[in-house]
Each structure stands twice: as C-alpha cells, then as structure tokens.
Structure 1
Amino acid sequence: MKPIEALLAVLREERVTKVFGNPGTSELPFLDALVDTPDIEYVMGVHECAVVAMADGYARATGRPAFISLHIAAGLANGLIGLLNAGRSRTPLVVTAGQQDRRHLIQDPMLSGDLIGLARAAVKQTFDVQHAHDLPLLLRRAFAAAVAPPAGPVLLSIPMDLLAEDVDVDLPTRTTFAPLGAAGGVAEAARMLLDAANPAIVAGDGVGREGATAELIAVAEALGATVFHQPMHDAVDFPYAHPLHAGPLPPVNAAVNKALTGHDVVFIAGAHAFNPHHYTPVSPIPESTAVIQLDSDHAEPGRNFGVALGLVGGIKATLGLLADAIGGPAPRAAERVEASAARHRTRVAEHDAAARAVYGPAPFDPFAAVHAIVAGLPEDVVVIDEAITSGVLFRKVMSFDRPGGLVHTVGGGLGWGVGAAIGTAMGTDRPVVALLGDGCTMFGLQGLWSAAREQAPVTFLVMNNGEYRTLKDTLDSWHSRATVTGNYPGLDLTPSRLDFTKAAEFFGVPSVRPTDLAHLTEIVAKSTQSAGPLLVDIPITGHPSHA
C-alpha cells in the first residue's frame, strides 16, 4: 500500500466522508488522489478561518473528529484562530498541513515554515511526519489523540513529496476504545450532596458533549438542587425550561461567587471552571462552600480552586451511578423544587415583559429583535450563537431544551459563526440558524461563499448595530473617559451602517431586511423550512450615547 493509499484507508476507517480545506501546491498529491475517491468529498472554503469553523460545526454535529487540509505555513496561520476556538470548545479535529518538498527545505523555499512551532500553542498535540512508513501509524495516533479527554485539535505536518513516494507501507489496525467508566468516590459524593442544606449544580459543557443531560436531570431532581449553566456555555447541558434551571453563571469570578453564596455544597459537572472574562480579585467559590467536581479530564478537578472531592471518569456513567446512589428524593427536595420553580416562572415572565416593552420600529431594540426571532423559530432548531451582546439577551428569552440545540464557542476568536453554521447543517437534519453580530460576520464573511456553493440550509441573522457594543459596555463598567465623553475610538463600524444584503449578493446568498418585528418573525419561520441559505440583515439600535 502506497502512502497516499494508506492515508485514504485510514480516513475511511475513521468514518471520514468530508475533507474541509483550502488547497495549495503542497496538497496537490492529496487532491489528485481524491479524483478517484468519490466516497470522500472535498468541502472547499476560500479562507481558512471559514474552513476550520465549518469543520468545527460538523464535528460537533456528528460527534466524530473532522478532517482538515490546510496549505503550508500561511494557510495554517490563517486557520489558527479556528484551532484556538476548537481547543477551548473541546472539538476533536485532525488537521494536516502540507509542507514543502523535503529535498529543498534546507534552501528555505518560498511558503515553507516551522509548521510544528506555529501550531504548538493552538493544538493539543503535533506530529511531524518525516518518513512514509510512519504516516499510517501517526494518523492513527492523531485520531485517537483528538478524542481523548480533553478532546481537541491535533496537527500533522506532511511534506508533499512524502505522499507521492512509490514505496509500500503497512496499515496498522484501528484501535477501538471502550467508553470511560464511572469515577471512583461516587458513594462519598452522594453522601455529601444528601447531607447538604442547600445544594447547587453547575452544568458544564462536558455534560452536553457526552450526552449526559438526562442523567444530570435525575441527579438534580433527586436533590432538588438549583442548576446553573457554566459561564458562556457552548451547548445545552440542562434544559432551560426545567424548573430547577437558574440560568448561566456570569463569566466573572465575583459574580459567580455571589450566585453561589448560600449554597453549602456545589457539584460542578464537566465544566472548565470557570472561564472568567474580566478579572476580579475574588475566588468564584464562597469560603463556606464545599465543592465536588466531576470531569473526564484528570487535570480539571482542583485546577482553579480547591475541591472537597474530585471525581475523574466518564461523565455520563458517573452521573448515572450518582443518581442511583442518591436514590429517592433527598430531605426537603420537594420544597426546594417548588421554590426554584417559582423563581424560574418569575424570571421568565420578567424577561418576556421586558422584551415586549421595547417593541418598536426599525432600528429595533436588540431585546425586542431577539424576542421576535425566538417567536419564529421551530422547536427542533439548532442555534449557532456568535452575537456577543445580542446573544446574552437571546438566552434570556430562548428556551434551549433539546440536546444539541445550541452551538457556541468560548474560544473568543471572531468569525467562527458563519462557517460553524454551514458545517453544522452538513452534519444534522435539524434546521440551523446562526445568530451573528455584525463585527463577527465581518471576520467570517468569506464563509458565505461556501454557503452558496454548498447550498447550505442556514438562516444567517446579522444583528447590525454598526459598532463593537460589548467593548463600549465594558468601558462603561470601568467609568472611563469614553463613558464621560461619548467618544469610543476604534469601536464604530461607521460612518454608514454596513449593508450586509450587498455582501450576501456578492457571494450569491439571497438576503432580506425586515420592515418590522412581525416581518422578522415571519422571515425566520419561513426561512427555517428552506432548502438553501438566507441572510437577514437586522438593523438594531446601538450603544446609548453618554455624551
């Protein structure tokens, strides 16, 4: 078996049916081989930011590692922002970057570079393939490493001449890994939770990734525990409509501390705790609170603060065993459920009333706009959220109840949402809607080319306020000179509001701008039944002037 044949054989055995890439000269041997490989589709993007984001969305939708082909140092550099996002979101990706022909690397040829050094900070593991007989084994290692806790992207650097070598290589057998079993210490965790006067749970994205939502619900209901989502959560880890759900924690340690105050035991399940955004000189855990932390990554429990009990094992298996160990309802569980349900009903009603109170003509208040969007969404929708400030409002009025209904990245690399939505649509039969900030859309605009080419059934909702509002809000919280003067240098996408319908037209994507909020609801409802892409340019009000 030749090296290129071994590569294709490994891809087939790893159930790879799509390659996400933007090609260059160093990938030509691979592209040539795909001519006779109809079972593996090459999904092309015109910028590596969109390419990696598409693969990210696809991997999360299918639950399998996605395969990416990048071109040499420059292409890898363009894709790094997506790899940083994937690492933060624990998305398994196997990335190859073509290197120049080894026979002239010593001459520092154009486009060559230190691919391993370039990628090392953005991926969990790198493989520098230098010998043809090593390629199949290192590919096997790469796929295994991508899914091993904590999952994430891995990179292989492959010289173009290696794939063209006319030598025979062996194909190692694929290793099948058993699911992680339950952690030890479950009986002690159950005892601590049953003895708690006011327990709370933090539902982390590991719960959603491992499909353990039902098991976490069983634990929460048996205890009557208040359940918070982890800050800026990437998935649906606990149903929003459940009476025990208290919403997501803010991404600030001081605010987390305040929310958890009064809870004597907190059970953190599958959360990279706690991803603080802005610094505050406070621990997220109140002094009088004991923490039980469960994760499939042995490095997570106790990583950022001391825990009374750390559990390492499969999240789904451990939560199932924990629910059994807790058994029937804990003392006062019914009382806590009713109290939590009352708070939940009040919070939902307040958010709904607040959104309805600001309905009006365009440009729309962002809270009213997201409320109108929610009114048009089908029950089984998958929402890709990269809307920053509007996204926070959206989560106040949207009830994410079905697993897989939310896809977000806490990585912070803008431009992810457009490509992620396209990849998600390739991996699911559910309707896909991307809620995007206008600044985020600008970073990932080239992804619209792939949306048109693939006829991806995605509704792109661009929340167009003509500014970086989240940064203005942050400056306001600091009581800065910008707040006093109303002058925010570098934070406006003006002098004229960007017209995203023209950008959509350029890339071949149909577009529309709503005339009123009822029209917006109607557009969303109809577009989610469409067989192709649609961009909706939604004019919303910006940051209030303090001048």
Structure 2
Amino acid sequence: MPFLSGKQAFLEILKQEGVELMFGNPGTTELPLMDGLAREPGIRYILALQEAVAIAMADGYAQASGKLAAVNVHTSPGLGNAMGMLYDAMHSGAPILLTAGQHDQAMTLTEPILWSDLPPVARPYVKWSYEITRLEDLPRAVRRAAKTAFAHPSGPVFISLPVDVLNAERELDLLEPTRVAPRIRGDRAAVDAAAELLARAKRPVLIAGDAVAHGDALAEMAEVAELLGAPVYTECVPSTCSFPFTHPLYQGPFPRVGPPIRSLLMQHDLLFSVGGDLFTLSLPSDVEPMPEGLPVIHLDVDPWEIGKNYPAKVAILGDPKATLPDLAEALRKRLTPAARKEAEGRFAQSRGAMEARRRALRERAAAEAGRTPITPLSLVAAAVDAIPDDAAVVDESVSSSIGLRELLGSREARSFYGLRGGGIGWGLPAALGIKLAQPARPVVALVGDGSAMYTNQSLWTAAHDSIPVVYVIFNNASYRILKQRTLALKGFSAEDDRYVGMDLVNPAIDFTGLARSLGVPGELVEKTPDIAPALKRGLASGGPYLLDVRIDGAFKG
C-alpha cells in the first residue's frame, strides 16, 4: 500500500474516478487541497470568483461529458453561496462530487470563525452527505460518493474535508471504483401490459423526459413514437433535447400550468411518460391538470417519480434505452393492420400541426423584424438562423424564449441544455462547463439579463481560461416574468400599472462594458438584421464573446 497524505490520496482517487477538472473557489480551509494540486498535473483547476459559478459550471460539465464533476468550496459561507445552483444540479441529475474544506478537528469544539456542521447544510440537495473524520475512511467515503453520484437516479453528493484529514499521512488502500450498471431493463410483464394498452389506444400522447437524453435513448424513443404515430412533448421543465426538435412528431414542451395541460390531455385517451415529470407546475390553479380516468403508463429510472402525483396503470422501473426496444418489439406483435393505418394518420396529423406552428412563428418573426426595440421572437428566429448546426445551445432566456424549441434544429442528446431546477443564474457558468466538456463544438448561450446578473463573474472565468462561449443577453431591462405573473394577480399592481422591484434601470446595465471589464469583448445590438452578423463575429472570434441585445420588455397581452 502506498504511503500518502490525505490530500494526495484524495486527488489520486479522483483521477481514478475519471475526474479531469476541478471547479472551485478556495479559502483557508482548502489550502491543503490547493497545495496538493500544485503537484497534480492530472487535474486542471478552474477558478470561479463565486461558488454559484463553480457549481453551475460543474453541472453543465457533468451533463455534457457524462463524467464526474468535482467542485471544492470554502467551508460554511462557500457552501451557503453554492446552495442555489446545487438545487438546480439536484434537479438536473448531474453527477457532482461537491467538497468543502473544514477546520482542523482539534479546534472545532471551540466553534472557530466560519465553522459549522456542514453535512446537514448540504443534505437537502444531495444524495449523500458526509464528513470524513479519519484518514483511514477517506478512500471508502470518496469511492462511495462517486458510485452514488452515478447510480440511478444520478445527482450530486457532498463530502466535508477537515484540514487535519488532508494533512495526515499513512499507508492507505485506495480501493477501486464501483459503477452500478445503468441499463435496467423493465419488467417484461409490465412492458407487455403497456404494449397492450398502447396498441388499443386511439389518441395516445407521449412525454419524453430528461432520462431519455441522459440515457442516449432518442432513437429508441423515436421508434416507439413512430410505431404509434403519437405526438411527443418534452416534459414541463425540460433541460435537454430528449426528443429531436426536427422530428415530425415533436410538439414542443408541455405547458407548466394546470388549465392548458388539462386542455391538451383532454384530446387524448392514453398518456405514456418516459422519464417525464407529471407535472412540474409554475403556479397553483383550481383546475386539475390530469383529466379523470385518463390511463397513465409511466417508465422511469427513479421509482419516486412513478405514480408520485397520479396513479400509473402500468408502472415500469427501467432505463429508456434498455426498455424501449422491448416495448417496440411488443408493439409490432400487437399492432393490427387497422391500428397501423390509424398510426399513419396520427403521424400525418402531428407533422402537419408542427409544420403549421413553425410556419406561423416564422411569418410572425418576419413581420416583427423591423421593430425597434427587437421583439423576443425576432431575436430567437435570427439567432437560430445564425447558430451552426453542430452547436450546443444553452437556454436561460426564461420568458423571452418564445419559439426557441420549435425553430431550433437540435436533434441529439447533447445539443441542447436548459434550466432544470428553475434557480436563475445558471446559464452563464453552465455554458462554460458544457464547452469544457465538448471543446470541439460551438457553444451559444441565450441568457436573460436578470439571470446574467446573478453570476456575471462567469465572464472573468471565460476570459481567464480562454473558454470560447458566445453569450447572447436578452436584455429587456426587467424581470419580465415577474411582471407577467404580478399582472395576472389582478391586484394593486395591475390597477396602478406599478411593478415594484422589477425594473433593471436607473442606471441601465451596460453588459458590454461589464464584459469588457472582466476580459470579454462584445457589442451592443439594437436591430434584428444586425443579430446574425454579430453572432457570427462572436463565433469567429475564437474566444468568449458577448452580445447585448436590447429587446422589447412589453409584458401585457
């Protein structure tokens, strides 16, 4: 067994677990680890100027690479700063190993500055949370954490690292990695039962959740959808391209409020959700989203999600990539010639509906192209036309994303990333992690101005590490979504046309000036015809670049 210090053992285990990058912001309790990194060329340290940036970078990196993302933050305040983006990472299912330095245990009883009991702080947003108290336990704890981060349902884990554990030395067995095989094949009897219901359905509807993209099962999902001729929606808050946006059966994301969900589902006689949420809603409603008596088939890698809110007629615990081929086979055996003919009719109907929707969006965008300020739709349409086909698109444009998922040509699992948890500020740093994971691919991030101000320190990291992401800031000088929802209350704000704390003015935020101060060049765009040339200049620059696009902040009607 090798004779190692805790810091050396920790870094060696990380390398064996596939870690190539560590995101972080250090403080005094992290100094042993930083000292260890000085002689560890196998792990590149990406410095963030605030912990939320570090977590969101790691989230994007883990999703885009499929690798374990390591993050290190500074004891109690650092972990506190990280919590908002850790919440998002929990919902995205990113396999992240988050660590925080802790004081030497010889002094913790005295409650030194910045000390607190760290594992309970992280626990609500991670799968496992633990403080290592002996060097002998370090290999077992880190191996367990890595295994747990990857196992279904994947997600972040947390370890507190006391200074004395990192500085201690002894002979250690570093153990080996464990990976739980992810391709869980759904129960055959349940698959057959699902096939029976689907084959008899006259108006089935499908939901493709993020589990489809995470499991690289887009082709398998498309095969089942095509056999049924069923329209496919992504889940209410999709963070991936879980079904090709260009596919004729694709119908866009599910609504996020009760009445339109119910209206949509009333048109169907069977709901089949593959890894989708049922339902993540934005607002309360007196209208129950799920129509009474609508049968539900639910396939998911997470048993918690199955039947969580609505009973499943057939409940299948399984990986989409491993299970959907069995379902396709079962369907082929059960679909009669008449059922296949009906599926062809549904296919044509869905294709026609989406083509009409795209055509209407294009016509509206063209009609709005001459307006000043730029409308959100005309910005989306112009950006889509300028974004390369092989690009990865990161979306945190929030209320200004009209038409994006209909017009964008994303067609594979790692081509599109959206804000899953809802905690804003994710987009700027997540795009950096995604680019680090996919360096050969152009990365374009569409980010609202309010979101950008939560984590604008990301721009410094982009410049410092020369990470070539093109940022398009949707600048409406407001928290538009809050104005929309306050207006819907029909209260004092609506009567007086006064919206408190929702305007980003006096002074206006100069995003190009802010970007330049942090080392990122950029330009102001105020007319629709200027969007595509500016975006192409950014892509050709070979480095990080920011476009401050002034858009209409209108929120009524």
Normalising by structure 1, what TM-score?
Answer: 0.97
8 Å CA contact 2:245–2:405 kept in 1: the answer is: no
2:452 paired with 1:408: no
- Deviation per residue, 1:496-527 (Å, 9 max, x gap): 43110110011010011125222211111232
The one-letter amino acid of 1:166's match is E
Aligned match for 1:282, one of 276, 287, 293: 287
Which residue pairs with 1:134 in the alignment?
137
8 Å CA contact 2:212–2:321 kept in 1: the answer is: yes
Which residue pairs with 1:249 in the alignment?
254
Residue ranges of structure 2 left out of the alignment (5+ in a row): none
2:356 paired with 1:346: yes
2:378 paired with 1:368: yes
2:517 paired with 1:506: yes
Aligned match for 2:481, one of 470, 474, 486: 470
CA distance, structure 2, for counterparts of residue 426 and residue 451 of structure 1: 10
Aligned identity (percent) is 36
Aligned match for 2:308, one of 303, 312, 316: 303
Aligned match for 1:443, one of 454, 465, 471: 454
Cα deviation for residue 545 of structure 1 reads: 6.9
2:86 paired with 1:76: no
8 Å CA contact 1:83–1:122 kept in 2: the answer is: yes
Q: Which deviates more from structure 2 when the two are superposed, residues 380-389 or residues 515-524?
A: 515-524
Which residue pairs with 1:34 in the alignment?
37
- Deviation per residue, 1:168-207 (Å, 9 max, x gap): 2221122243233311111111111001111110111110
User: What secondary structure, in the 3-state scheme, does the structure 2 residue paired with 1:167 have?
Assistant: strand
CA distance, structure 2, for counterparts of residue 158 and residue 454 of structure 1: 27
User: What secondary structure, in the 3-state scheme, does the structure 1 residue paired with 2:238 have?
Assistant: coil
CA distance, structure 2, for counterparts of residue 173 and residue 364 of structure 1: 56
User: What secondary structure, in the 3-state scheme, does the structure 2 residue paired with 1:327 have?
Assistant: helix
Which residue pairs with 1:10 in the alignment?
13
2:119 paired with 1:109: no
- Deviation per residue, 1:214-240 (Å, 9 max, x gap): 000000000111111111210001112
8 Å CA contact 2:221–2:324 kept in 1: the answer is: yes
Which residue pairs with 1:145 in the alignment?
148
**Aligned pairs (5 A) from 1:113-128:** 113-128=116-131
CA distance, structure 1, for counterparts of residue 77 and residue 217 of structure 2: 40
The one-letter amino acid of 2:327's match is L
Which residue pairs with 1:320 in the alignment?
325
Which residue pairs with 2:68 in the alignment?
65
**Aligned pairs (5 A) from 1:486-497:** 486-497=497-508
Residue ranges of structure 1 left out of the alignment (5+ in a row): none
8 Å CA contact 2:361–2:403 kept in 1: the answer is: no
Which residue pairs with 1:422 in the alignment?
432
CA distance, structure 2, for counterparts of residue 539 and residue 52 of structure 1: 29
Aligned match for 1:336, one of 340, 346, 352: 346
Aligned match for 1:390, one of 397, 400, 425: 400
Aligned match for 1:99, one of 95, 102, 105: 102
Q: Which deviates more from structure 2 when the two are superposed, residues 163-172 or residues 445-454?
A: 163-172
2:220 paired with 1:208: no
CA distance, structure 2, for counterparts of residue 487 and residue 336 of structure 1: 47
Normalising by structure 2, what TM-score?
Answer: 0.95
8 Å CA contact 2:392–2:416 kept in 1: the answer is: yes
CA distance, structure 2, for counterparts of residue 395 and residue 218 of structure 1: 21
CA distance, structure 2, for counterparts of residue 214 and residue 186 of structure 1: 18
User: What secondary structure, in the 3-state scheme, does the structure 1 residue paired with 2:164 have?
Assistant: helix
- Deviation per residue, 1:463-495 (Å, 9 max, x gap): 111100001111222223212221101111113
- Deviation per residue, 1:276-295 (Å, 9 max, x gap): 11011333321131000000
Cα deviation for residue 410 of structure 1 reads: 2.1
8 Å CA contact 1:90–1:150 kept in 2: the answer is: yes
8 Å CA contact 1:88–1:409 kept in 2: the answer is: no
The one-letter amino acid of 2:366's match is R
**Aligned pairs (5 A) from 1:153-164:** 153-164=156-167
- Deviation per residue, 1:124-169 (Å, 9 max, x gap): 2101211111111000010011111221111001101111002222
Cα deviation for residue 361 of structure 1 reads: 4.7
Which residue pairs with 1:381 in the alignment?
391
8 Å CA contact 1:378–1:525 kept in 2: the answer is: no
Which residue pairs with 1:237 in the alignment?
242
Cα deviation for residue 409 of structure 1 reads: 2.0
Aligned match for 2:536, one of 518, 521, 525: 525
Cα deviation for residue 544 of structure 1 reads: 4.9
Q: Which deviates more from structure 2 when the two are superposed, residues 200-209 or residues 409-418?
A: 409-418
2:236 paired with 1:225: no
8 Å CA contact 1:72–1:98 kept in 2: the answer is: yes
User: What secondary structure, in the 3-state scheme, does the structure 2 residue paired with 1:487 have?
Assistant: coil
The one-letter amino acid of 1:486's match is D
CA distance, structure 2, for counterparts of residue 461 and residue 241 of structure 1: 23
2:172 paired with 1:187: no
